[in-house]
Each structure stands twice: as structure tokens, then as C-alpha cells.
Amino acid sequence: MAHVGGTLVEIATPLVLLLSTNRWLTSAGVVLMVLFHLFITSTFPAGGTAGVERPVRLRRRLPVPRLPGRGRLRAR
């Protein structure tokens, strides 16, 4: 029951936009769809790391081997 209103708006409004010849009704449908999608967008988190845990590093990093007099090994 919770999603009935949103589903109705999401299905009915585009049909009104496609089939309506009334300019006022079409304008109302456009405004409704813009507001509907702005509401959906506003429910997404806006960034930040609150409540997000850092991934656990399973292994420690191994040192890069060095050759005497040549510096680090290079991939070829």
C-alpha cells in the first residue's frame, strides 16, 4: 500500500502528458513530474561519510623488492 501513490503518479502522469490536448492539464503534468523526480532525488544521500565504515584491509602491503644498484623492479 505504501507505494501505490508513487506508482500511480509515475504511470498516470506520463499517460496524461502523451494523450492530453488540454494545455493546462499538460502543464500541470509537467510540473507534477518535475516535483516528483525532485522529491526522489532529494531522498538520496548528498555525500559525506557519516555512517559509512571504512573497508577492512585484509593483508598488509608487501614492500616492493629492490635490486642492488638498480632501484625498484619495473614491469615489462
Whole-prediction pTM: 0.51
CB 66 within 8 A of CB 72: yes
Helix (H) or strand (E) holding 17: helix 4-19
Distance CA 12, CA 10 (A): 6
Q: Which parts of the chain are beta strand (E)?
A: 66-67, 71-72
Residue 3's pLDDT is 75
Residue 1's pLDDT is 47
Residues (pLDDT < 70) of the chain are 1-2, 46-62, 65-76
Residue 49's pLDDT is 60
Any idea where the domains of the chain sit in the sequence? 1-43
Residue 54's pLDDT is 64
Residue 52's pLDDT is 60
